[in-house]
Structure 1
């Protein structure tokens, strides 16, 4: 009965159309409250109320930005109700973007290519000289192939029709970069430990597994 009551409480939290709209948007990726308010055309005080309810019921969590460190991102959490899935338009290509293009974006491409037939590439807003050794080691541990990968500048890679996914708060917050989806993934290079890279691979893998099957609408 405890599990049934928990599920009933979650359904109750989602029974409001405004909260369900917030969850639908967050099922694509993370967003700041201001981004959600703009997308939904919802007053900030009403959005804050809905977010508080979702946080209280364990459906959403707040995470601080690694970029400007003032912004907060909202992230949808796994629950007993399972994944929230809505179909999305199928893009010509998926473009993963981070600042240095030295770790998260390359790992995301490798994971995506194992999960989807939609082509995927990566780029950086300020590319590093090479892929971080920690990312290469993590790829080996997780059976991912980074051969032939190298950091590239966003302007040289981006094409019309790309689904742009930022996996770095700093890149997402840069002026002029409009992403279709944002995944707020902590920077493993900054930490430098194997565990940090493994956590990044795990979280990227979870997000890829959730998004890839939903890109089915022509």
Structure 2
């Protein structure tokens, strides 16, 4: 079966299988920079020509590369990445959500930061809540948010019971909240509690972890 005739999932399997070989992965790494003649790839990898031919055929069958003739020397060809070759290699699962709700225990740091970060990368609304909300936002969270251009100063911790709604995609961002709650439609991020240390570094680390996770999740959540 050709790559065109396969389902998106089967096509991903074929591509991953092709990339599992170190030489083929190296070839694809090189082709992300530009086009290479087979003899140039052979020099880069230091492998026999027959083995290189095998790898190139495998990559072509997987839909990762194409080959075209040189306009100068028609005996020469160049290998390039196929259009969209690397698309779809990231996990393909998508989630539908009316709103993304970030939850931690106190709703005083991690969940507030995550909700604020989300608003900068997605048009889907976000909110935050706590299973046992604090009286106010942690000063460390306000400061780290301010250092990164976000404003939490006017926010107030809120109870999950008062905030949760139908169609929410729930993201628990602390282990305590995750282990306390069951049966929710969502995912869990095991983000270290910066309040345990209370240092600028701890809040920066939590912010960086949340920012990376928010950026990774946002493209995979669609409006329900």
Could you state the TM-score of these two structures normalised by the residue count of structure 1?
A: 0.60
CA distance in 1, matches of 2:127, 2:223: 21
Task: Say whether 1:208 aligns with 2:214.
Answer: yes
Task: Say whether 1:181 aligns with 2:194.
Answer: no
**Structure 1 residue runs of 4 or more that deviate by more than 4 Å after TM superposition:** none
CA distance in 2, matches of 1:208, 1:164: 13
Q: 1:204 to 1:83 in 2, by over 3 A?
A: farther
Task: Say whether 1:103 aligns with 2:94.
Answer: no
Contact 2:124/2:222, CA 8 A, preserved across alignment? no
Contact 2:107/2:128, CA 8 A, preserved across alignment? yes
Whose Rg is larger?
Answer: 2
Task: Say whether 1:194 aligns with 2:200.
Answer: yes
Q: 1:192 to 1:179 in 2, by over 3 A?
A: farther
Instruction: Give 3-state SS (helix, strand or coil) of 1:165's partner.
Output: strand
Kindly report which structure 2 residues correspond to 1:159-178, keeping only aligned pairs within 5 A, or say none: 159-176=165-182, 178=184
CA RMSD of aligned residues (A): 2.5
Tell me the matched-pair count.
Answer: 144
Contact 1:127/1:152, CA 8 A, preserved across alignment? yes
In structure 2, the gaps of 5 or more residues are 1-18, 25-87
Contact 1:87/1:217, CA 8 A, preserved across alignment? no
CA distance in 1, matches of 2:103, 2:89: 25
